Each structure stands twice: as C-alpha cells, then as structure tokens.
Amino acid sequence: MLKLIVANWKMNPATPREARELYLKTKQAALKQRSARVIICPPAIFIGCLNHKTSSRLSLGVQDISVHRNTGAFTGAISAAQASYSEAEYAIIGHSERRAAGDEEKIINTKVKLALAAKLNVILCVGEKSRDGEGGYLQELHEQLTSALAGVPNNFYKKLVIAYEPVWAVGKGASGADTPAEFLHHKLFIQKVLSKTVGAAAAKAVPVLYGGSVDHKNAESFLNEGQAGGLLVGRASLRADHFKQIIYAAR
Ligand code: PGA
C-alpha cells in the first residue's frame, strides 16, 4: 500500500506566491517517489492559486469543513461540497487545534459524514491529551473513534484514513514525538476498535498515520519500525528541504 504523506500547512505560508513555491518544490519530490501519495492541505484560500492537476502521487486536501450541509448564512465557513468542487480530494477532520476551538464529538461526527457524502476522503485525527501510566487514556481514544464514526456506513471505510496524533506531541509547544514502538501499539489498538464495526480485514485496510513532531530525522523510523500507514506533518511540511526527506523516507 502507498504510504500517505500529509502536509498540514495550517495558516501558512503568508502569501500565494510562497504557497506556489512550496507547492512546486513539494510536487517535484512527490513525483519522484513511487511508494507514497503526498497530500498537501494548504489554507483553502490558496487551493485555487496552485494550478494543481490531480495525479496518483499528489493530491490536495482541506484542513476542515463546515458542520452545515447547505449553502447559507455561515460567515467564514466552507462546506464539504464546496471543498469537493475545488481540487480538494481529502478533508482533515477532528484536528486537535479544531477540537480545542470547540469541535466536540457530535460536530466531528457530522463533519465526517458530510465529507464522505461529498465524496471527499476523510483524514480523521484522534489522540489523547495526556498519557497516564495505567492506560486509562485508551478509553478517550476509543470514545473519539466510536463517536466520530457512529452511523458511518461500512462501505465508506475505504475512504477513511486515521491520523493518530497524541495532542502532547503536536505543534510548537510539544514535548517531542511519540516513539515508533508506542505508535505501533496504538495503531493496533485503533484497528481493533474499527474491526468491531467493519471486521478485521476492512479495519486493517484503513491506513493509520502518525502525527506529532514528525521531522526529517524521525520519519523513517515511524514508517518502518512503527509500521505507520503514513505521516501527518505540520511544521516540517513548511520546510521544502526537510519535507522532501520525509517524502523520500517512504521508500
Ligand atoms: P507538527 O503538527 O508536525 O508541527 O507537530 C502536526 C499536526 O498538527 O498535524
């Protein structure tokens, strides 16, 4: 299976020109890498500036969608259908920064269903805020998965990607990345939870990505030792030279 290397640019870069430059450098690396599909998630306002042509190696995604299905008076929001009419093929949903801004489980569940109904692939982010020694946080992970996917028909699981991102490992203030061995443990836990709904084979086919302080030095160990289905990369995706090395790590 192709490794999915996702670039979450968040609210970066500052200008469309910089976005185009970063896109072109990332594209060059992506087209050289046969073992990966690279998915760039820029600020939605930049999607139209990139002159993107869909290919099997490089796709675009949005970082979030609205909880509302139809067009209407929802200032600042972008619907799943609008995203899918742009070149976006993927939608990140439930990112910890969106959860911190008020996306509760019910909202995330609605967004997952709207994105799938609009034919977008969903990258669902889950991850605990902190890790207690007794494994109690696994209940939090279980709850995030089951509530986000409640009522999602089984045949949609082939459009689903899970990104396991422990919140303490995400972003500037992070205490550092998880370990590949711990990731593998959590990947198996996630697939076990999914298998209760869709069966073992379908659950195993859902790619489970690692995210949280991925860089050009640790990427390979998460992909190999950690057996990650791919990586969700924030800060390091803004450095074309570093992100290139992360893409090449999928070899
Ligand atoms: P980071 O962000 O790589 O900067 O830790 C990851 C994410 O937010 O998805």
| Residue nearest (by alpha carbon) to ligand 1 atom 2 | 234
92 CA: nearest ligand 1 atom: 9
User: Is ligand 1 within 6 A of the CB of residue 58?
Assistant: no
Q: CA–CA separation, 246 vs 240, rounded Å? A: 10
Ligand 1 pocket test, pick from 93, 165, 237 with the greatest ligand atom count within 8 Å of Cβ, gives 165
Tokens found for residue 43? 């600020």
Tokens found for residue 194? 């999914």
Active-site annotation, residues = 95, 165
User: Is ligand 1 within 6 A of the CB of residue 61?
Assistant: no
Q: Check residue 64 and give its pLDDT.
A: 98
Tell me the domains of the chain and their CATH numbers. 3-248 (3.20.20.70)
Q: CA–CA separation, 87 vs 222, rounded Å? A: 29
| Residue 180: closest CA among 249, 94, 248 | 249
| Residue nearest (by alpha carbon) to ligand 1 atom 1 | 234
Q: Check residue 210 and give its pLDDT.
A: 98
3-state secondary structure of 49: coil
| Max Cα-Cα span within the chain | 50
Residues of 133-156 as b/e, b for ≥16 C-beta within 10 angstroms? Answer: eeeebbebbbebbeebbeebeeeb
8 CA: nearest ligand 1 atom: 9
212 CA: nearest ligand 1 atom: 5
pTM over 0.75: yes
Per-residue pLDDT tens, the chain, 251 aa: give them. 899 999 999 999 999 999 999 999 999 999 999 999 999 999 999 999 999 998 899 999 999 999 999 999 999 999 999 999 999 999 999 999 999 999 999 999 999 999 999 999 999 999 999 998 888 999 999 999 999 999 999 999 999 999 999 999 999 989 899 999 999 999 999 999 999 999 999 999 999 999 999 999 999 999 999 999 999 999 999 999 999 999 999 98
Q: Check residue 134 and give its pLDDT.
A: 87
* Sign of the four-CA dihedral 134, 140, 145, 151: positive
Q: CA–CA separation, 110 vs 103, rounded Å? A: 10
Rg of the chain over all Cα atoms, to the nearest angstrom: 17
Q: CA–CA separation, 136 vs 203, rounded Å? A: 23
Cis status, amide bond into 13, omega within 30 of 0: yes
